[in-house]
Amino acid sequence: MIILDENFVESQRQLLQSWRFSFKQIGLDIGREGMKDDEIIPLLQQLKHPTFFTMDADFLNRAYAMLAMALYFLMLPNMNRPSLYGVFCGIKK
């Protein structure tokens, strides 16, 4: 299950939807708006095989590296279309 942090803007959501990616976003489809990082982790741990995408550098904390889940920190210039697609093209839909 692909989970997007709430810091993904609507245009990025629409782009992923146009590529037919299935995902849920924190604050819209799952969890609640304004969730803190330490609240997101337990939520993700309740899900089956979550793959979490964020642009929040706080998730680079080594404490999160020990968790049994896929966590992707995105640092892309202006989140342009080719870069965003390149990140998601290898992810199972």
Question: Residue with structure tokens 């995902």?
Answer: 23
Q: Is residue 35 part of a domain?
A: yes
pLDDT in tens, 26-37: 999 999 999 998
Q: What is the pTM of this model?
A: 0.72
Q: Is residue 69 part of a domain?
A: yes
pLDDT in tens, 55-83: 887 777 666 655 655 666 665 555 555 55
Helix then strand then coil, % of the chain, to nearest 5: 40, 15, 45
Cβ neighbourhood burial of 70 (10 Å; 0-12, 13-18, 19+): middle
Quick check: 92 pLDDT over 50? no
Q: Is residue 36 part of a domain?
A: yes
Range of the domain at 80: 2-88
Other CB atoms within 10 Å distance of the CB of residue 6: 17
- Looking at the 3D structure of the chain, how many domains does it have? 1
Q: Is residue 93 part of a domain?
A: no
Which sign, positive or negative, has the C-alpha torsion 8, 1, 71, 65?
A: positive
Q: Is residue 81 part of a domain?
A: yes
Q: Is residue 14 part of a domain?
A: yes
Q: Is residue 55 part of a domain?
A: yes
